[in-house]
Amino acid sequence: MRCEPLSVGYPDHADEMDSLTLEELNNADGEKFVAILGGIYESSPWVAERARSDRPFASIEDLHDRMSRAVEDASRERKLDLLRAHPDLAEGTEMTDASEEEQASAGLDELSREQYEAFQRLNETYRERFGFPFIMAVRGASPDAIQAAMERRIENSEAEEFRTALDQVHEIARLRLEELVS
């Protein structure tokens, strides 16, 4: 079972997400705004809820900055919940359409058996060490580059990796916004 796509609650744009304009987003009622942007930060509509009162947004960058600020102003526990909302890489379990597309763009849906097993071991080690999944903006990256990043980052301190993971979450959100809003 898949989670709903980014355009939930905004059927006019479900099949043509790139036609959503910043003006339409700024003028959307509060519920529609949250429905449209609720998946930008993985399964965390609270980020859009916090950002909606900052409208109107002058640009996609402005919107991203406000959403990022909402995350940064949240409690550590809320941030940890956001990190834990992300799927493991190359896991093949339930994930949002956006995550599935991003992982496929990096070839994580076509790994060899050896690569798949390596990712599973790294995912498990990483989760045990940090308490959340490895997060990386993987769009267009190669499986080898992703694996190398996992191997390198697994050596980080907890504080370093928490910050790195949040930075990657913000990058993923930026890419999703750029794809969604024209």
pLDDT, one tens digit per residue, over 138-158 is 988 899 999 999 999 999 999
Q: Look at the alpha carbons of 16, 37, 180, 51 in this order and tell me if their dihedral is positive or negative.
A: positive
Give the C-alpha separation, 182 to 172, whole Å: 17
Q: What is the pLDDT of residues 10-67, one digit of tens each?
A: 333 333 344 699 999 999 999 999 999 999 999 999 999 999 999 999 999 999 999 9
Give the C-alpha separation, 49 to 35, whole Å: 9
State yes or no: pLDDT of 83 exceeds 80.
Answer: yes
What are the catalytic residues? 86
> pTM of the predicted model, to two decimals?
0.85
Q: Which of 74 and 19 is assigned the larger pLDDT?
A: 74
Give the closest residue to 83 by CA, choosing from 172, 161, 144, 169.
169
Q: Which of 139 and 6 is assigned the larger pLDDT?
A: 139
The ranges of the chain annotated as CATH 1.10.3330.10 are 88-180
Q: Residue 6 class from Cβ within 10 Å (0-12 exposed, 13-18 middle, 19+ buried)?
A: buried
State yes or no: pLDDT of 125 exceeds 50.
Answer: yes
State yes or no: pLDDT of 9 exceeds 50.
Answer: no
pLDDT at 11: 34
Element (H, E) at 121: helix 113-130
pLDDT at 106: 64
Lowest mean pLDDT across 14-18, 47-51, 70-74, 99-103: 14-18
Query: Quick one: CATH architecture of 88-180?
Result: Orthogonal Bundle (1.10)
